Amino acid sequence: MGKSYAEIIMPYKDKKGGLIEAFHALQREFNYIPEEALKEAARIFKIPESKAYGVATFYSHFSVEKRGKYIIRMCESAPCHVAGAGEVLKALEQYLGIKVGETTPDGKFTLELCECVGQCQAIPVITINDDVVLSVSPERIPEILKKYE
């Protein structure tokens, strides 16, 4: 077993404004913020659960829904849009057999849309967890995802 929710959250307890840092730490462990972890965070930071939930759902990188081991984010901002993000997205959906916002049945991949990730030197861009993949094309999808399978 890994660390308990409280063990993950506690190091940020005395950090001013540490709730978001604690959420990052939880996501590094689970890729989402489990409901019980959110409740634990509210208790530790002495704020209502509704407030903690409000913060967790404000930011697009945080999720209160279970997600896969790898989160694939497709940038659809204007520069990636004109560079063909739409086709790449279609190819990703087809290859993974899921729609945006869904997770593959084996729990490996979650597909999300995102806005500009600031890697516009070679677009379109996807990110897979912390990795940035540049100049993505529909044909390259199988080769790119192979590394994570």
Partner 1 sequence: MNGEKRILLEYADKINPEKAEDYIKVGGYKGLEKARKMKPKQIIEEVKKSKLRGRGGAGFSTGMKWSFVPEHAPVKYVVCNLDEGEPGTYKDRIICEKNAQALLEGMAICALAIGAKKGYIYCRGEYPHIVRLLNNAIESAKKAGVLEDFDIEVRMGAGAYVCGEETALIESIEGKRGEPRFKPPFPGVEGLWGVPTVVNNVETFACIPYILTHGAEWFASIGAPDYPGTKVLTLTGDINNPTYFEVPTDYLLSDVIYKLGGGIKGGRKLKAVQVGGSSGAFIPPENIHTSIDFDSMSRIGASLGSGAVFVLDETRDIVDVATRIAKFFEHESCGKCNPCREGTFRMYEMMQRINAGRGSEEDLENILVLSRVMQKASLCGLGQAAPIPIETTIKHFREDYMRKLM
**In the complex, minimum distance from the CB of residue 23 to partner 1, in angstroms, rounded to a whole number:** 7
DSSP letter assigned to residue 10: G
Report which secondary-structure segment, H or E, holds 127. Answer: strand 126-128
Provide, rounded to whole angstroms, the least separation between the CB of residue 105 and partner 1.
Answer: 26
Nearer of residues 120 and 144 to partner 1, judged by Cβ = 120
CA 84 – CA 82 distance, rounded (Å): 5
Residue 75 is assigned to a ligand binding site: yes
DSSP H or E run through 20 = helix 19-30
Least distance in angstroms from the C-beta of 70 to partner 1: 15
Residues that bind partner 1 (CB under 8 A): 16-21, 23-24, 45, 54-55, 58-62, 76-79, 81-82, 114-123, 127, 130
Q: Return the bridge partners of 85, or none.
A: none
Does 116 belong to an annotated binding site? yes
Map tokens 């897979």 to a residue. 128
Positions at the binding site for [2Fe-2S] cluster: 75, 80, 116, 120
